[in-house]
Copies of this chain bind each other. A is one copy, B any other.
Amino acid sequence: MKIPKSINRFVDIFSRLPGVGPRQAIRLAFYFVRQGKAFQDDFAKTVNDFKNIGICKRCFYIAEGADGLCEFCKDKNRDQAIIAIVEKETDIMSIENTGKFNGRYLILGDIRRSGILETDQKLRLQSLKKWIEKEFGGKAKEVIVAINPTTEGDIISEIIAGEMRPSAEKVTRLGRGIPTGGEIEFADEDTLASAIERRS
């Protein structure tokens, strides 16, 4: 489809956002044009202000302050010696929603299907090990590998666990079993096997 020149740049950059295809980008462009000036100004200002948000130098979550740390890394009421390694920011939000975790995080970035760590991800693990060394002079209390329990996630989790073992008194993984509200009849074999092994 021939895209009008005047919306071309807008469509091009919006198409690069995750989950937004070219057709939706075109619809967004026309939607944007149809909105009043108030919305357009507000939108442009929001995007512009957003450029000032930084990334936590320790865990790669969002950071606002001049110290370059996120809300979890600078929170003295949290146990900074317990670190959950997650794939992405929204996983942190899900874990925070449970109210069951009071440590800090490391964001590793999306796990690829290849089942190997990207260079960036290796650097983040190295960086975490250095922080642990500097903060605790050796080992953290616990590193929780909170990666999705998929086939490739399991492979990566093993690699991460091996990497982190010298830097933590214990390395754990999220419990696995039948989800709350789930039925034994419909649980797959692996899940049921995990549930039996990890019975408590």
Contact = CB atoms under 8 A, between A and B. Distances in A.
Given A1-B97, A13-B43, A47-B43, A26 B62 contact: no
A37 B52 CA distance: 10
A112 to B, nearest CB: 16
A10 B42 CA distance: 10
A161 interface: no
Contact of A90 (B30, B40, B42, B89): B30
A10 B17 CA distance: 14
Q: Is the interface of A mostly helix, strand, loop or mixed?
A: helix
A7 B46 CA distance: 10
Interface in A17-65: 17-20, 23-24, 26-34, 37, 39-44, 46-51, 53, 55, 62, 64
Interface of A: 1-4, 6-7, 9-10, 13, 16-20, 23-24, 26-34, 37, 39-44, 46-51, 53, 55, 62, 64, 71, 88-90, 93-94, 96-97
